[in-house]
Structure 1
Amino acid sequence: MRAACYLVVLGFLGYQMWRVRHGLGASLRLVGWGNALLAGVLAAVGGVPGFFGWRMLLAAMGTRLTHAAALRVFFLAGLTRYLPGGVWPAVAHAASARALGEPPARLAGAFVASQGLGVISGLAVGLLALPWLVAADAIWWALLPVLAAALVPLAAPRLLSGLLSLAQRVLRRDSPPTTPPKHPPTQPERPPAQPGRASDLAGRSFVLPGRRVLFVVTGVMALGWLVSGTHIAVLAIALGAPPGGAMTVGIGGFALAAVAGIFTLVMPSGLGGRELVLGLTLATQLSGSGLVTLVALSRVLITVGEMASAVAVLGLLAWIGRASARTVGHRPPRSDP
């Protein structure tokens, strides 16, 4: 079934590019290197708020990682989204937790919760495109009840325990790991869970954050959608879309497309689902080769940006680690007075 899905999605995308092949070159020249570079930077920077939102959730659950450890876990696990199947990022977070002496279910649960809040914020930002979308088809009004239903976990944080319990069952982790931490914990011991805001997995490994943290993280995630969605607006304006529609539909449509990609669990990095929704929303602004060029170029820029960001961050951390090791190794012995 998975192989069939790959063939269908890749075949559909390939057919769309073949259908407008005569206009692709002209559309790419119309975009130009400058606009493509600006769009690529915006797409890459848009992922930064997601890191801070995830780290805020993790800290609220009781784990405070150092900057280096948090960057390594987040960006290394982020690369696994390009593997087939949607569970690998959560598995990668859990695997990283063992070396840090933290409960695997807590890191995996923080990632799953951040994805859930990303869906809520993405639907909210998607409302920017609603006026243009409903003018083309009234079915887009369905976004309003979907968003209302998605907001329920923010009003009742305990409902997020369902997502976290799902991560627990997938990972089969019922208790914290036995591996001792490499460094003694620096944070004070957590107080007992408060009734009404505590909902942990079977191993009592973490406490869900309260409404205030959830709302703040949702706002941070929304900022990420606004920044990353701007790369669509840049490309759309370069291809001839009106600036007003390009900004609202570009940002909102990209957020909706990315949310659809999150639910495309079989395909790596939401391949197919994201392109389909992005094409449907931007069809109100562009058509033909311009639309296909934008959708394809967006996928390329996001993939290159995410890969380059991860490689740069992990390479910088490795270089800093080697530099620190050389400094410690060449430190002269201290003489006693």
Structure 2
Amino acid sequence: MTGDVARPPTTSGPAGTAAARGRRPADVRGVLLAWARRLVVATVIGLAVLQVVREWDEVSATLRQLPWPHVLLALVAVSGGVLLGALVWRAALAAMGARVGVSDAAEIYLVGQLGKYVPGSVVAFVLQMELARAAGVSRARGLTASLLTAGVAVVTSLLVGLLAVPALAGSEPVLLWMFALLPVGLALLHPTALTFVVDRVLALLRQAPLPRRLAGGAIARASGLSLLVYLLYGLHLFVFVDALPAAGATDRALLVVLCVGTMGVAMTAGLVAFVLPSGIGARELVIVGALAAVLPYGQALALALVSRVLFTVVELASAAAAVLAARLSARRDTPA
């Protein structure tokens, strides 16, 4: 008498065939979307490289003209803006009644931000959510704080971006559609409206609604800090522009206004173009288009490239420094 031999289930029956058919379209769509994202990224990078090659003589000459003191000043300005971003995230979290230390907020925000270098995804939000969970903040609150930070960033960047509207209207008028988001964003910054939106997000995540209305003071603090972030980003661009003789004919106060507004619109474009890693291409398009009002095209392109490299270096270095500071702090707090 032979015993029954257990056999693995097969999908040859009707139910298995239907399940396999049900999975295949989703798999195919996922593959197609992934390849479409890669194609978009490759196209944008290819066009950018082509522009640099065409303008290389003027680009290289501009790079040689930038004095090292100006580069260092720009580095300080970008570093200040990136680090203040962690305080914006901390204020957004505080608006929900949850608090973390500055070092924890820096690690959560700065390390999580590196996820934006992955194209076409929400990796940055997921990383920040998981890092917040490790710091004792629920995933729902961590994710909501990141979404609030992004929303505040869009509104404040568009506010300062209004300063660059005259320049963009003449060179890149197609970008002005983004300002349609500003009235809606300003309305949603009111604590009552923002609490309603956050509760809807939490409901989608199957989480309980907020126990009370978002704190208006914390939202105002996050907005003020975010405005300061874009002021620093604009100053970094002004330092570069001011170093070039071609900009000498323009009043310096107008240059500051133009550069601050330009970085506001550029950072918004980078957020909107989330399919691109860190908004590459979109941010540079805005910078070149706005600076073309006061500089030759090749010089504006060179400054956009330098700015991109500077941001990448600062974001990587600040994330590493935040992790190191958090580890040293944890080691001090741990009993021997």
TM over 0.5: yes
Q: CA deviation at 1:237?
A: 1.3
Q: Which has the higher mean CA deviation after the structures are superposed, 156-165 or 241-250?
A: 156-165
Question: Could you tell me how far apart the structure 2 residues matched to 1:255 and 1:147 are?
Answer: 12
Runs of at least 5 residues in structure 2 that lack an aligned partner in the other structure = 1-35
Choose the corresponding residue for 2:120, options 46, 66, 85. 85
Choose the corresponding residue for 1:102, options 134, 137, 143. 137
Q: CA deviation at 1:150?
A: 2.4
Which residue of 2 is the match for residue 182 of structure 1? none
CA contact (8 A) 1:126 1:251 kept: yes
The one-letter code of the counterpart of 1:223 is L
Choose the corresponding residue for 1:258, options 262, 267, 275. 267
CA distance change for structure 1 residues 259 and 143 in 2, over 3 Å: closer, same or farther?
A: closer
Q: CA deviation at 1:102?
A: 2.7
Larger radius of gyration: 2
Which residue of 2 is the match for residue 309 of structure 1? 318
Question: Could you tell me how far apart the structure 2 residues matched to 1:23 and 1:166 are?
Answer: 49
Runs of at least 5 residues in structure 1 that lack an aligned partner in the other structure = 175-201, 330-337
The one-letter code of the counterpart of 1:289 is G
1:214 equivalent to 2:219? Answer yes
Q: CA deviation at 1:210?
A: 4.1
TM-score by length of 2: 0.80
Q: CA deviation at 1:159?
A: 4.7
Q: How does 1:110-149 map to 2 (within 5 A)?
A: 110-134=145-169, 145-149=180-184
Q: CA deviation at 1:164?
A: 7.0
Deviations 1:74-121 (A, max 9, x none): 222122221223411211122123323432011111111111011100
TM-score by length of 1: 0.80
The one-letter code of the counterpart of 2:82 is G
Q: How does 1:186-335 map to 2 (within 5 A)?
A: 202-204=207-209, 207=212, 209-239=214-244, 240-241=246-247, 242=250, 243-325=252-334, 328-329=335-336
Q: CA deviation at 1:127?
A: 1.5
**Number of matched pairs:** 297
1:35 equivalent to 2:70? Answer yes
Q: Which has the higher mean CA deviation after the structures are superposed, 239-248 or 2-11?
A: 239-248
The one-letter code of the counterpart of 1:227 is L
CA distance change for structure 1 residues 285 and 322 in 2, over 3 Å: closer, same or farther?
A: same
Question: Could you tell me how far apart the structure 2 residues matched to 1:295 and 1:238 are?
Answer: 14
Question: Could you tell me how far apart the structure 1 residues matched to 2:308 and 2:185 are?
Answer: 26
CA distance change for structure 1 residues 14 and 324 in 2, over 3 Å: closer, same or farther?
A: same
Q: CA deviation at 1:162?
A: 4.0
CA distance change for structure 1 residues 46 and 319 in 2, over 3 Å: closer, same or farther?
A: same
Question: Could you tell me how far apart the structure 1 residues matched to 2:317 and 2:211 are?
Answer: 33
CA distance change for structure 1 residues 19 and 67 in 2, over 3 Å: closer, same or farther?
A: same
CA contact (8 A) 2:191 2:214 kept: no
CA distance change for structure 1 residues 43 and 292 in 2, over 3 Å: closer, same or farther?
A: same
Q: CA deviation at 1:322?
A: 3.5
Question: Could you tell me how far apart the structure 2 residues matched to 1:7 and 1:137 are?
Answer: 23
